[in-house]
Structure 1
Amino acid sequence: MAVAELCLFPLGTETPSVGKYLEPVLEVIRASGLKYKLCPMGTVVEGSVEEILDLVKACHEAIFRAGAERVVISLRIDDRIDKPLTIEGKMRV
């Protein structure tokens, strides 16, 4: 199991407000079946690396369908095989 932080930045929009571009992305994340946590500056997801990369591709497509002319994607993946990795476990001090 891996934990990833995903952030999409739509560019080429007519306004600094980007909610209309990100709402379809959130719908894709919700529909993915992966465990996730929305954060102010991105979204954290939990799943296999393959599931996470498939999700990133689906989010990439969704933001363009929403009308963005350009997108920058920031993705960080933490994957380990020596012990279980979860969103909650990463948040423990």
Structure 2
Amino acid sequence: MAVAELCLFLLGTESPSVGKYLEPIIKVIKASGLKYHVCLMGTVVEGSVDEILELVKRCHETILNTGVKRVVINLKIDDRVDKPLTIEGKMGV
């Protein structure tokens, strides 16, 4: 299991406020079935690397369908084989 942090930076919106554009992304993340935690500056997800990359692809497609002209995606993946990784373990919860 891997833990990843996903951050989407939206450019080319009509306003500096981007909440309305991110609502569909949260729906995509919820629908993925992956364990997730929305943080102040991004979202942490837990799953296989393939599941995480597929989720990022769906988020990318979804955000462009909202009318955003440009998106920059920052993705960090932590994948270990020597011990299990969890969101709780990474966040110290």
The code of the aligned residue for 1:7 comes to C
Q: CA deviation at 1:92?
A: 2.4
Give 5+ residue unaligned stretches, structure 1. Answer: none
Q: How does 1:51-90 map to 2 (within 5 A)?
A: 51-90=51-90
After TM superposition, the runs of 4+ consecutive aligned structure 1 residues lying more than 4 A away are none
Equivalent residues, number: 93
Tell me the TM-score normalized by structure 1: 0.97
| Aligned positions of 1:12-91 closer than 5 A | 12-91=12-91
TM-score of the superposed pair, with normalisation by structure 2: 0.97
Q: Which runs of 5+ in 2 are unaligned?
A: none
Shift of 1:9: 0.9
Give identity over the alignment, percent: 76
CA distance in 1: counterparts of 2:91 and 2:19, whole angstroms = 27
Root-mean-square deviation (CA, aligned residues, Å) is: 1.0
